[in-house]
Structure 1
Amino acid sequence: MTFFIAYRGAPNGAQDWENRCRSVARNRRDSIYVATRNLPNGETFLFGWIGKNAVPLEAQVQEGPGRVHLSTLPIETASGEPETYRSATLTVDLTDATVGISAPVTSPEQLFYAQRDGNLVISSDCRLLLQPGWTLNPAAVFAVLQYGAIPAPLSIARDVKRVPPGQSVTITSAGRESIRRFVWNPGAAQIPDSMASEEVRRRLARVFPVPGSTPIALLFSGGVDSTLLADQLARDRHSDVTLVNYAFSDDDPESAIAEKVAAHYGYPFMRILHDDGSIDHVLARVGAEYSYPFGDVSTLPTNAMIHAAIGRISPQSLVVEGTGADAIFGLTKRLALWRRFTSVPSVLRQAAAAAYRGFGMWRYDGPVRKACWLMRTRSQMPLIEASVMSQNSLSGIAYQIPEDDGQTLAAAIHDSYIGAVDGHEFDVAASMANLMHRCSGYCVAKSFDPLRSAGLRVLYPFLTSPIVDLAALMPVSSKYRDGADKFVLKAILKESLPGNLMDRPKAGFEPPMARYLRMPTFRAYLEDVVFDPRNPVLDFVDAGMARRMIEYSGQHDLTNREVHNYLWSLTFLSAWVDAHATP
């Protein structure tokens, strides 16, 4: 896994861009491959990759008469999956210097570009495109704070654009841009309940590599999603598989069950034990390690787990993670709840929203707070955004989004996600929006960059097109039955897994954030990075409210995820900006 780089423009600018990329590669101790082509208009086209195990250019480049086509995954290993899901791509027409760039639909790999002084620079690493003196894009800051991820075409920097997922941007030699929108079209043939289990198995088998071709490290909680992947690997006779588990304590009951599941399948079990001291190391590297900012409080344990595992698994491993199953098979109950609260008269929703703010309900847990939170969030945005995209309802409490930034953000959300699912029924559209925004934008982002920076390949089976399309092709009766989500996945596991290892409540990957907020080293980090008067992110938030939230959460062991996600989003964004600030 590597970072993609490209340039089109004046020859002297190409040399400057190459020098910058080589400097970055040296600092990261990475390999770099670069090639150039001369264009008829006198410009230079430069392209290449930076990474720990960057493969030779020939493996990712196709050249034909008058064109060069590049893919961020080696072309010869591509499966039958559509390229729009599989990787970012770039095509340059060597006759007229037109460049086309495309971003994958459901992937944490993002593609950025900027036009400056007639030159075009492109990379899957936003950090490479930041210029000295770069400034924050206000709408992008608010996107991280409220939604956890920045919707394209926005990026954290004002003069850098992001290619929307699944879409293609064409840029002529004169700098004119045109875009080809992505419209999700999974097909119309519904899968009957009687064939649901078989179809899930068949599609998962298509996603994994040939058994015996590569060692596999499966990030393994022991829950339904990761257990289904272990079950499929065992069914397909993959033998070189290690299950990597993160335990929050020596007596973590979830980890104990995960170990029993691993023993059932006969796979080695690697337990990584949480250590509060590791969080200090995460804080020290987190701003610099990620190629773009996002907000997900479980970044803390995930990053610690990845770094602990890197030295214990084979460097040739394919790392597999099960994010995405919730969005495809597990949203029915959640969406029904949101619809119920949407049916509440508007005047009551507004009253609940005012009560949430007026009584400071962010300080509490419990059903009353949750109901007011639901109605406040719904009063602030459309149903799809409220139900599967927004992380909190703290706008107007912890931060205030100006009207023009709110309009910019709403337009980006529509162009990136909502427009792609127009015409689908609500539950199906919400599933795909969740996959494109939440799952791809921050859930898998927290593992993606640490893994690809280490030179490891990574696979998210539930974000591949054969599985993603099941969100539309599988009836609700296969996803939700007897008051529970993921019916078809559990039905598959019942065929091979004892009931005592499967029938248990869902447990989230929740770090002890309230405890972290009491740690002296964590508090010192907040003072040094977040509350540093030079931190430009403070211009967009109520710093006093952030301090009150930190104090209250630490003192009262608050378990309110919306507060913890907000505080972590503020912390991570501040750390990222601090790591990449220029004099």
Structure 2
Amino acid sequence: MCGIAGVVSADRPDPCLVRRMCDVLAHRGPDGEGFHEDAHAALGMRRLAIVDVPGSDQPVYNEDRTVVAVFNGEIYNFPALRRELRDRGHRLATNGDTECLVHLYEELGDELVHRLRGMFAFAIWDGRRRRLLLARDRVGKKPLYWRTEGGTLWFASELKALTRDPALRREVDLVALHHYLTYQYVPAPWSILRGVHKLPPGHLLSWQDGVAVTARYWRVDCTPRDVASEEEAAEEVRVRLLDATRVRMVSERPLGALLSGGIDSSAVVAAMARHSAGPVKTFSVGFDDESLDERRYARMLARHYGTDHHEMVVTSSALEVLPALSWHYNEPFADSSSIPTFHLARMTGEQVTVVLNGDGGDELFGGYLRYLLMARAGRVPGLTFLRAPLDRAGSALAARGAPRSALQRAGRAIGLLGHPAPRRYARLMSSFTSEQKTALYSGPLRASLTDVDSHGLLDDAFAASRAGSVLGRVMDVDLNTYLPGDLLVKMDTATMANSLEARSPFLDHHLVEWAAGLPPRLKVRSGTTKYLLKKAVEPWLPPGLVTRPKMGFGVPLARWLRTDLADLAWDVLTDHTARSRGLFRPEAVRGLLRRHAGGHDHAGRIWALLQFELWCRVFLDPPVPGIDHDLASRP
């Protein structure tokens, strides 16, 4: 596991810049560093050593050193690949996975990605052809940013590494900001900085002769297929999950699991226990709000398997990490569960180096309550002729309800009825609606975004899906948008900030591809979410865990923004610095704050604005005298 960076150019790149870029990635790789330099390429990396700890330093080379690679991630099928490469006559100098890349490239060229089972972002420099190949794994576990200008290309694992180049103009991409306010994250291929891009999941980028070209190499096929029986399908879930867990337990460093007490993480811990000779180390986080605290369920599973269990409680005092979060997340990121995730990763990283989690179970097997809502709403045609009054009534009702309350859910459901399925889902996933953004924006910002429709991103994702039902398409859309844009960013950033590697058995691409084609009736049935997964893992779990209600992983944000965070939000969002950006109408921002303080729920929208402003102060604003603004020294 590493952080990678580099520059390729027709001219000789600056190797000192690449070293500065890697310095800012030191948290991703505290165990070592390595660099390659030639007339047209400078590559660098920081290493978190997990497999072949003493031997697999990077960069890695082929036999004649004409092909070089830097790599972030894990290739779980590397033993089989190494045997195959040796049989073909390749000489391997290490015992790890990274070296497979250069030799597979020699054999297969760009097609090597189809042979990799794992999570990865890598760069391969072909010195003979003066060609760079960048790749990102199928589902987007590992990040990769890039930019090009004047025939030169820069890339890095994190956006802040690219900002080490003084030639990069730090200007907000207004389209990215528009999308961020809708979804609470900046979706690929945008980044929050103009001219910088994220390589989307399942994509390659090739650079040669100053020209960069991206291409998609993988998309899961959600075409539904029949299954012989529920019992056989449940057994297949168990077999595939056990195999995906087994290969992710290979590590020369201490290993554990994040345990929320939900079905997904509990199933992963149960699978780990079946492969482990000793107690599994498990780590949980809870809250002082009982309605959000799942620790009792995590303890139930921990006792059942006799794990070495550790837990912590997150209170509003945990908000002291907000400046560190702005720095580590690189872009505005408004999923408030990043706070407990960061604290959990910090606690976990003090004891282990590798941790398994349950990410992906909801998207594969139908775990979110919104899937149930969309399945039911799919039976109701879009009442487009009543769209405006339904929107108004639904918004007014939802604003009166507490977060996740029946009143709030009813209001949101009413507002959906005036829209077709893709727009219904877009509204479910939106923090700000289009109308709310229009009311928020200053005149110049509104004029610059007249023709930009953030909901069109989900329209396109719906249209590209091969799923045969509304439910199937919604889940496919999540696999391509919400999962890589929000959940995987949250986990990768929080864990790597604490030099901790996170692995996700549910996101093994063999399991993803198999689960994607299951009929919807095995995912959501008669008001039950994750029907097949629950049936499959029920024999592994203690009584009561499978039937417990889903709670989600949230923080009491609405309450915090009326109490402990109220002054901070008001001060940061209404002071001269925020107003001087000229992006939002000050009276609209103040109105949001006042209405939230008065009992309406605008927590998600206020949090999104707060995270954007905090990000601006870390990355855009000039240093304040007496405060260290050197990015390399940030927490």
CA distance in 1, matches of 2:427, 2:487: 13
Q: Partner letter of residue 578 of structure 1?
A: R
- Of residues 373, 376, 387, the one that matches 1:337 is 376
Matched, 1:267 2:307: yes
Check the 8 A contact 1:169/1:179 in 2, yes or no: yes
- Other-structure match for 1:120: 153
- Of residues 389, 404, 413, the one that matches 1:351 is 389
Q: Partner letter of residue 531 of structure 2?
A: F
Pair 1:360–1:490, CA change in 2 (3 A): closer
CA distance in 1, matches of 2:188, 2:451: 14
CA-based RMSD of the aligned residues comes to: 3.5
CA distance in 2, matches of 1:319, 1:515: 31
- Other-structure match for 1:364: 401
- Of residues 585, 604, 608, the one that matches 1:565 is 604
Question: How far 1:238 sits from its partner (Å)?
Answer: 5.2
- Other-structure match for 1:459: 503
- Other-structure match for 1:61: 60
CA distance in 2, matches of 1:554, 1:243: 38
* Match runs of 1:493-572 below 5 Å: 493-520=537-564, 522-535=565-578, 539-556=582-599, 560=601, 563-572=602-611
CA distance in 1, matches of 2:580, 2:205: 30
- Other-structure match for 2:336: 297
Check the 8 A contact 1:84/1:105 in 2, yes or no: no
Pair 1:141–1:379, CA change in 2 (3 A): farther
Q: Secondary structure at the match of 1:477?
A: helix
Question: How far 1:269 sits from its partner (Å)?
Answer: 1.9
CA distance in 1, matches of 2:468, 2:121: 26
- Other-structure match for 2:92: none
CA distance in 1, matches of 2:175, 2:416: 18
CA distance in 1, matches of 2:517, 2:550: 25
Matched, 1:47 2:91: no
Pair 1:570–1:393, CA change in 2 (3 A): closer
Q: TM-score, normalised by structure 2?
A: 0.79
Q: Secondary structure at the match of 1:534?
A: helix
Q: TM-score, normalised by structure 1?
A: 0.85
CA distance in 2, matches of 1:78, 1:388: 43
Q: Partner letter of residue 257 of structure 1?
A: Y
CA distance in 1, matches of 2:117, 2:216: 12
- Other-structure match for 1:434: 478
Q: Secondary structure at the match of 1:72?
A: strand
Question: How far 1:49 sits from its partner (Å)?
Answer: 1.3
- Of residues 392, 396, 399, the one that matches 2:431 is 392
* Match runs of 1:232-247 below 5 Å: 232-237=271-276, 239-247=278-286
- Of residues 120, 142, 145, the one that matches 2:178 is 142
- Other-structure match for 1:220: 259
- Of residues 268, 271, 275, the one that matches 1:229 is 268
Matched, 1:208 2:253: no
Q: Secondary structure at the match of 2:555?
A: coil
Matched, 1:95 2:128: yes
Aligned length: 567
Check the 8 A contact 2:234/2:533 in 1, yes or no: yes
Pair 1:119–1:414, CA change in 2 (3 A): farther
CA distance in 2, matches of 1:100, 1:92: 7
Question: How far 1:2 sits from its partner (Å)?
Answer: 2.1
- Other-structure match for 1:15: 15
Q: Partner letter of residue 63 of structure 1?
A: N
Q: Secondary structure at the match of 2:378?
A: helix
| Residues 206-264 of structure 1, C-alpha deviations (whole Å, 9 max, x = no match) | 22246685543222121211211122122334534122111213967632232122101
CA distance in 2, matches of 1:351, 1:46: 59
| Residues 129-153 of structure 1, C-alpha deviations (whole Å, 9 max, x = no match) | 2355410011111211111222222
Q: Partner letter of residue 175 of structure 1?
A: V
Higher RCO (C-alpha 8 Å, min separation 6)? 1
Question: How far 1:383 sits from its partner (Å)?
Answer: 0.9
- Other-structure match for 1:285: 324
Q: Partner letter of residue 20 of structure 1?
A: R
- Other-structure match for 1:158: 194
- Other-structure match for 1:578: 617
Matched, 1:175 2:238: no
Matched, 1:450 2:494: yes
Q: Secondary structure at the match of 1:20?
A: helix
CA distance in 2, matches of 1:76, 1:297: 32
Question: What residue ranges of structure 2 are gaps of 5+ in the alignment?
Answer: 81-113, 623-635
Q: Partner letter of residue 303 of structure 2?
A: A
Question: How far 1:189 sits from its partner (Å)?
Answer: 6.0
Question: How far 1:176 sits from its partner (Å)?
Answer: 4.7
Question: How far 1:113 sits from its partner (Å)?
Answer: 0.9
Check the 8 A contact 2:333/2:608 in 1, yes or no: yes
Check the 8 A contact 1:112/1:160 in 2, yes or no: yes
Identity of paired residues, percent?
22
CA distance in 2, matches of 1:79, 1:29: 23
